Amino acid sequence: MAKDIRWLTTANAADMACCDQKTIRRAVRSGYLRAAQEAHGDLRFLESWIDEWLSNQLLPENDSDLSIDATSLRRQLALR
């Protein structure tokens, strides 16, 4: 059976990334974070898009050998 896709709201995405909703919206406007927009304007996110955005925030541009596990990162941030 196919895995159900779970869309996140801006609030869910902010909780997942341990940041404010304004940070999420700013990242979307700047083109750093992917988002789908509903007909009435609300943004929706896939978990993988948040993980990718978080990983890109930590990786140096010139070091392709460095690998970050976004799930572990989220857990560590939540503990702070």
Q: pLDDT tens digit string along 33-74?
A: 999 999 999 999 999 999 999 988 875 555 554 555 666 667
Distance between start and end Cα atoms, the chain: 37
Residue 23 lies in a domain: yes
| Banded pLDDT at 3 (limits 50, 70, 90) | confident
Host domain of residue 40: 10-79
What is the per-residue pLDDT for 29? 95
Between 80 and 11, the more confident residue is 11
Tell me if 2 is assigned to some domain: no
Instruction: Identify whether 4 is part of a domain.
Output: no
Distance CA 35, CA 48 (A): 11
pLDDT in tens, 5-31: 889 999 999 999 999 999 999 999 999
Identify whether 5 is part of a domain: no
User: How many domains does the chain divide into?
Assistant: 1
Within a domain: residue 3?
no
Q: What is the pLDDT of residue 5?
A: 86
- What pLDDT, on the 0 to 100 scale, is given for residue 69? 66
Domain contains 62: yes
Q: What's the rounded Cα separation, in Å, for the pair 23 and 29?
A: 10
Q: Are 6 and 45 in contact, with CB atoms under 8 Å apart?
A: no
38 located within any domain: yes
Q: Is residue 31 part of a domain?
A: yes
